[in-house]
Amino acid sequence: MATIAAPSDVRDAYMRRSGSALAAIYDKVLHGERLTGEDGMRVYDDADLIAIGILADTARALRTPENTRDYVYWAHNFHINPTNICEAHCRFCSFKKGPGSPHAYVLSVDDIVASVEAYPEREHLAEFHIVSGLYEKQGLDYYVSLFRALSQRFPHVHIKGLTAVEIHYLSQLAGVSHETALRELQAVGLKSMPGGGAEVFAERVRKDVCADKITAEEWLSVHETAHGLGIRTNATLLAGLGETPQERVEHMLSIRAQQDRSGGFMSFIPLNCYYDNNQIDPRHALTGVENLKNFAVSRLLLDNVPHIKSFWIHIGEKLSQVSLSFGVDDLDGTVSQEKIAHAAGSDAPQALTREALMTLIWRAGKIPVERDSLYGVKQVFPAPEPALP
Ligand code: V47
């Protein structure tokens, strides 16, 4: 299928026309030069969305082998949230409940295994995405039992589990180091970690929205330890908390510096905040344009992170399609029963079928590629012929 992007000479002429403030950054991208934080800020400050899309898409294409340039990755995955009880007090979280709440729930290992057994498409599954609350009655032993049971019963499914925040909490509860906790979990099937819990690294913002959460340095240090053990991880930015573009750029540069040191990040995921049932001022809500800039700037600055992911649950299906022209090459997956963004007001569906997700990608002029959690290709799906109407 032909790509819908304009030919490179048209893009080139657009970027070089007189008055384009982004032409110098375009030249750096073409020459593979590392961009600075100031370059990132110049992109945030620019109103020319077409030029920003060309910049980010050029950076994506130049870092991708030619025969895979139109690929958009996704996984058939299943979300598991063992409890919504959490000791932390993140002001943006609408998912958390106190232990006495009538809406609190706690799932046993058997409950979780049964929920996967009941999932009609379990044979297709490639990944369990497991994140939870910080709850003292579900300590390290609970997760060791859970991962052991899931790996024994569903050996074909990769376990991507527990954010750095949870690893830190479980280690403290058990009185062991991050490395010991990670080794124990790895021994029973933990293979990678999701990128949640990073929020915005700037201390100014953390003090306001998640004062009792681990610091940026601790978050990065858990990921460094995981990378050292061969556990690949992702990284996120939760935008829309009242952070400045400069703070977003600094967040991305911290991830880039960490990646230079430890090399284990697979993807970076700019997330979009929702405001129902939490204490964040909805006037901080991002526009669609700001979300697109977050994707573009992260693609441009994170020259050492292979994939930029748009979690369609956080920005909706249509903006996800557009994000594929702003540096994104991954839409996460089919997902099932997403709870965190939905508790806060996301009106995206809670899951997409394989066909719906692939149609979304075909209609953006791209080629869906079903992947495993480590970006191994399971199947490439060229667009059906005759072309979609
Ligand atoms: O860490 C919390 C965020 C994250 C809200 O690694 C909120 O593959 C919006 O990390 N509005 C969880 N967001 C999601 C996440 C993720 C998703 C998909 C793939 C991967 C991956 C990771 O959701 C939390 C937090 O940053 N969140 N509250 C809210 N009100």
Give the pLDDT means over successive 10-residue stretches in the chain (389 positions): 67 87 94 97 96 97 94 97 98 96 97 97 96 98 98 98 98 98 98 98 98 98 98 98 98 98 98 97 98 98 98 95 98 93 93 95 96 98 78
Contacts of 300 (CB under 8 A, 6+ apart): 25, 29, 35, 39, 40, 43, 55, 56, 59, 327
pLDDT value for 388: 60
Output the residue whose Cα is nearest ligand 1's atom 1.
Answer: 196
Say what the pLDDT of residue 387 is: 66
CA of 141 to the centre of ligand 1 (A): 25
**Residues paired with residue 42 on neighbouring β-strands, in sequence order:** none
Q: What is the pLDDT of residue 99?
A: 94
d(CA 320, CA 260): 28
pTM: 0.97
Instruction: Out of 84, 190, 238, give the residue to mutate to test ligand 1, the one with the largest number of ligand atoms within 8 Å of its CB.
Output: 238
Residues with CB under 6 A from ligand 1: 92-94, 194-197, 199, 234, 236, 238, 269, 271, 273-274, 278, 311, 332, 340-341, 344
Round to whole Å and give the CA distance between 42 and 364: 27
Q: What is the pLDDT of residue 19?
A: 76
Residue 1: what pLDDT? 46
